[in-house]
Structure 1
Amino acid sequence: MTSPANAAGAQAGQAYARYPSLVDRTVLITGGATGIGASFVEHFAAQGARVAFFDIDVAAGEALAGQLGDSRHAPRFLACDLTDVDALKKAIADVKRALGPIAVLVNNAANDKRHSIAEVTPEFFDAAIAVNLRHQFFAAQAVAEDMKQHGGGSIINLGSISWLLKTPNMPVYLTSKAAVQGLTHALARDLGPFGIRVNTLLPGWVLTEKQRRLWLDDEGRRALQEGQCLQGELMPEDLARMALFLAADDSRMVTAQDFIVDAGWA
């Protein structure tokens, strides 16, 4: 059965922009098995890229790879705990051997678990930073040499408008997502001389299956209606289409920038 996101990916190949520079380009996506990440995988595969994606959800990852097996290049799923930096580096090395030099990195993986200030322990803080921020740095570090040898590349770090909106009950998550923008600017400066572009993609409230199941209620719907300038639901494919542009040569002189896709909320 085709998932709604997969159907949107197929539609994107017909109704939206095509990027010839992405054909046969090796793209690595973290946290790609579900939600926004799955839409990234589908849209890059529809462009003819060589896609690899990591996730700890083995069942969802294998299912998505199977659904997209008839793409020009069947996406390659690798189970990986991104909080284990050694495992992350090994998985990236495996992708290089299988698909060639990595030209695009989409640092998508995160966990927006709700939490209060009082319940945060040092262990929780470190674990949240590891899943929401630390892996982005080490993934970028691991692909940088490929991109240098390739003559350039694109790194897209996923941030969030949640810290701009001062969303309650997620203090460590907001801290890590604010830091992502600092990481982007630092990497953009240091990697720019090698033609490597680094940008942040900041989603608004993207209504994935998880968000609908856990947190979307009548109060949330009212907040969306009042906060967004554009009415309607923000979907994973809306983020994916911006990521395609930032990965393609069309954005060759765009770096150290923060792109908000939130229907005008922040």
Structure 2
Amino acid sequence: MNGHPIFPDLAGASVFITGGGSGIGAALTEGFLQQGARVAFVQRSDAGAFCDEMEKTTGSRPLFIPCDITDIERLRAAIAKAAAAHGPVRALVNNAANDQRHATLDISEEFWDGSIAVNLKPYFFAAQAVIPSMRETGGGAIINMSSISYMMADQGYAPYITSNAGITGLTRTLAREFGPDGIRVNAVLPGMVVTARQLENWLTPASMAAHLDRQCLKKTLRPADMVGGVLFLASEASAAMTAQALVLDGGVVTTG
């Protein structure tokens, strides 16, 4: 993952990423490590091999903290552990999500609650956990990974789409409330990013071709394509930018 601009202010910065060991999250972890940041991340599955790979390729080892982000107390504890190891979190990237497909008429209350518990609730409580120290240190950046799915009137995963609309609202209200403290809050809305999970579960050559046809840029988006925008939002290069939804979709939708 080479070719990203260097943001000198990210060197040594304490960065916390949810879901930072696979898919887009893994690309973000690598991207921040290449900036010289001190990265901690959480996810449920073991990420030891990934950490070994990052240490070999970037010269720095991320701090992996096993955590189910639906357990808010464990999430808070993980953030505290990261801060103890790397210093107060300066950049939080809320990335972990589950876009499981499900027919709307088959969705149970349990499934709905479980989806919100993964895709929206931890975003709020992770932000709540880092804001006090950001206030004390004079500011910070929160980047919430959302999706263009709710802007497209997409279908097949209503709880996930609803969560992404909520993430944008959460982003804007937090930006308004904590802007006076120097805390910037922005959202990144990826388009169709091809990951191993997407290929295994949902994407087909036909669906990929159809979506690519809708893009202005005729390139298949990969996790690495999301890194530059997130680094920009975490750095002082975007010091005047907050409450925004940055769409990285190859040109499918617009925030208007």
Instruction: Kindly state the Cα deviation for residue 72 of structure 1 after the two structures are TM-superposed.
Output: 5.1
Paired residues of 1:26 and 1:50 also in contact (CA < 8 A): yes
Matched, 1:161 2:148: yes
**Partner residue of 2:67 out of 70, 74, 80:** 80
User: What RMSD over aligned residues (CA atoms) do the two structures have, in Å?
Assistant: 1.0
Shift of 1:65: 1.0
Aligned with 1:66 (options 52, 60, 65): 52
Cα distance between partner residues in 2 of 1:214 and 1:120: 19
- Whether the 8 Å CA contact 2:218–2:250 is kept in 1: the answer is yes
- The one of 107, 111, 134 aligned to 2:94: 107
Instruction: Note the 1:84-163 alignment, pairs <5 A.
Output: 84-163=71-150
Partner of 2:22: 34
Structure 2: distance between partners of 1:225 and 1:78: 36
Contact 1:33 1:53 in 2 (8 A): yes
Q: Which residue of 2 aligns with 1:5?
A: none
Q: Distance in 2 between matches of 1:216 and 1:117?
A: 20
Structure 2: how far apart are the matches of 1:152 and 1:26? 13
Rounded to whole Å, the distance in 2 between the matches of 1:99 and 1:225 is 40
| Deviation at residue 64 of structure 1 after TM alignment | 1.3
When residues 225 and 73 of structure 1 are mapped into structure 2, their CA distance, relative to the original with a 3 A threshold, is closer
Where do 5+ consecutive residues of structure 1 fail to align? 1-7
SS in 1 for 2:221: coil
Partner of 2:184: 197
Give 3-state SS (helix, strand or coil) of 1:105's partner. Answer: strand
Describe the SS at the equivalent of 2:252. Answer: coil
C-alpha distance in 1, partners of 2:82/2:205? 43
1:176, 1:223 → 2: CA distance? Answer: 25
SS at match of 1:69: helix
- Report Cα offsets for 1:162-219 as digits up to 9, x if no partner: 1111222111111111110000001001110100000000000001111122222132
Structure 1-normalised TM-score? 0.92
The whole-number CA distance in structure 1 between the counterparts of 2:208 and 2:12 is 40
Identity %: 44
Alignment of 1:11-26 (within 5 A): 11=2, 15-26=3-14
2:37 counterpart (37, 49, 54) = 49
Partners of 2:227 and 2:133 lie apart in 1 by 23
Q: Distance in 2 between matches of 1:227 and 1:121?
A: 33
Runs of 4+ in structure 1 off by over 6 angstroms are none
The separation in 2 between residues aligned to 1:73 and 1:101, in whole angstroms, is 19
Q: Deviations over 1:42-70 (max 9, x none)?
A: 00000000000000011xx2111111124
The match for 2:229 among 242, 249, 254 is 242
1:247 is displaced (CA, Å) by: 0.3
- Shift of residue 238, structure 1, vs aligned partner: 1.0
- CA distance, structure 1, for counterparts of residue 239 and residue 60 of structure 2: 24
What is the letter of the counterpart of residue 55 of structure 1?
A: Q
Give 1:170's aligned residue: 157
Q: Is the 8 A contact 2:175 2:242 kept in 1?
A: yes
TM norm structure 2: 0.96
Aligned-partner Cα distance in 2 for 1:265–1:213: 24
SS of 1:265 mapped into structure 2: coil
Q: Count matched residues.
A: 252
Please give the alpha-carbon distance, in whole angstroms, between the structure 1 residues aligned to 2:147 and 2:208: 19
Structure 2 stretches lacking a partner, 5+ long = none
- Distance in 1 (alpha carbons) for counterparts of 2:210 and 2:41: 33
Contact 2:212–2:220 (CA<8 Å) still a contact in 1?
no
